[in-house]
Structure formats: structure tokens, C-alpha cells
Amino acid sequence: MATATVTNTVEATLREASDKNAARRLRTTGMIPAVLYGAKKDPRAIAVDPKQILRILHSASGHNTIFDVTLEGEQTKAMVVDWQYEPLKGSLLHVDLKRIAMDQKMRVSVPVHVEGEAKGIKEDGGLLDVVLREIQIECLPTDIPSHISVDVTNLRQGQAIRISELPQNDAVKYLNDPDSVVVHITYVREEAAAPAEGAAAAAEPEVIKKGKAEAEPETKEAKKK
């Protein structure tokens, strides 16, 4: 598994004002407000280039990427832990960065990548249901995988892959319940014909009632004659 550590560097500068007006003025310069915190140090209000942050978020490892933050001539390892987009334009508005201690284990969510074409789909006509899109893990920062591969090639209809069946290694610990289903192949229900038959049955009494209503006046007139 590829780790999430890359050589990206984010250049940060300190910002004094932290009100909304100051944030708007900052954005007009092409920078966005951010906060750097963690590692038992005081939080710092900083300004960063949104293009550098977007490059990290759009990378293979996404927000699990560990990168260098340069601030006042010093470098520290960090991760993106929260970010905000402008709802209409989709531009980045604000980001929270967390300092990372490289010698301490941490907990993160890692995306699931499904690999292979399941026999239960190709031969049995089933459907693939991905139950868990992300998996909680614990490991050292340098061991964070960019994703967890799940091979479904030999999966048949009604079969599943659980957390306990995922590839195991000493560096990464899965935090989800071992019995939790990650993916499974479901049966395709053949119910298309049933509604049509039910509709025909429901329509039949209605026709009979109309027939009786039309026939009644004729019967009364016949009696009068």
C-alpha cells in the first residue's frame, strides 16, 4: 500500500486580524485564512495559498497526505483536517491544518478501492454493494495507506468480504468491528411481473361494477313496461 506522505510544501504566513472583514480582504489577494494547531503547541492564525491546499486534497492520498508547512523559517509536518468551500463558486474559503508528530500513532479514515470483476456479477448476474466506503485505521503517519484495496474477483452471489478478511500487516490496525461487511454481492430480485398482474386484478372488479351500474336502469324500465 502506498503511503500518504508526499513532498508537498505549503508556504504559510502569520495573519494578525481574524475577523470576517480581514478574511475577505485576504481572499482578494489570492490567499485564504487558515489555522495551524496540534502537537501541544499554541494554535497559529495563518494565511496559505489555496492552490497548494487543493493540490493536496486532489492528490491520490487526499486529506490524509502529510506535508511540510513552512512558517517563519521553520518547517513542521501537518495534515488537512477540515476545509470549507464557497457553496456557489466552489472556491476554497478556509482550512484547518494539524501538526503531526511523526513518532506517534494516529487514527484516520482511509478510502476503499474495489478491484477486480466479481464472478457473482459476471456469471451470476448479481449486484455489487459497497457497504463501507472508508475504513478507520490506526498507524504511524508514515504508514498511512492512500487506500485499502479489496479484491472481489472470487466473490459469488450472497458472499461478502468483512474487515477480518482484509489484508493484514503489523503496521496498520483496523478499528472497525472485525465482522463489519465491507462489500457483498446481492441477489437481483425478479419482481417486475408482479405489479402488472396485481394491477390487472385490481382493475377487474372496477369493470364489473361499471357494468352493473349501466345494467340497472334497463332492468327497472323493463319492469315498468
Residue-wise pLDDT for 75-98, tens only, equals 999 999 999 999 988 899 999 999
pLDDT band per the 50, 70, 90 thresholds, residue 197: low
Per-residue pLDDT, averaged over 126-132, amounts to: 96
Q: Which residues contact 120 (CB under 8 A, 6 or more apart)?
A: 126, 128, 155, 156, 157, 158, 159, 185
DSSP 156: P
What global pTM score does this model have?
0.73
Parallel, antiparallel, or unpaired for β 134-139 and 173-174?
A: antiparallel
What class has domain 107-186?
A: mainly beta
Q: Which residues contact 148 (CB under 8 A, 6 or more apart)?
A: 1, 110, 111, 112, 113, 135, 137, 166, 167
Assigned C-alpha cell, 223: 319492469
pLDDT of 222 higher than 80: no
Q: Return the CATH number of the domain spanning residue range 5-102.
A: 2.40.240.10
- Name the nearest CA neighbour of 12 among 39, 46, 51, 41: 46
The string of pLDDT tens digits covering residues 173-187 is 999 999 999 999 999
Assigned C-alpha cell, 100: 503531526
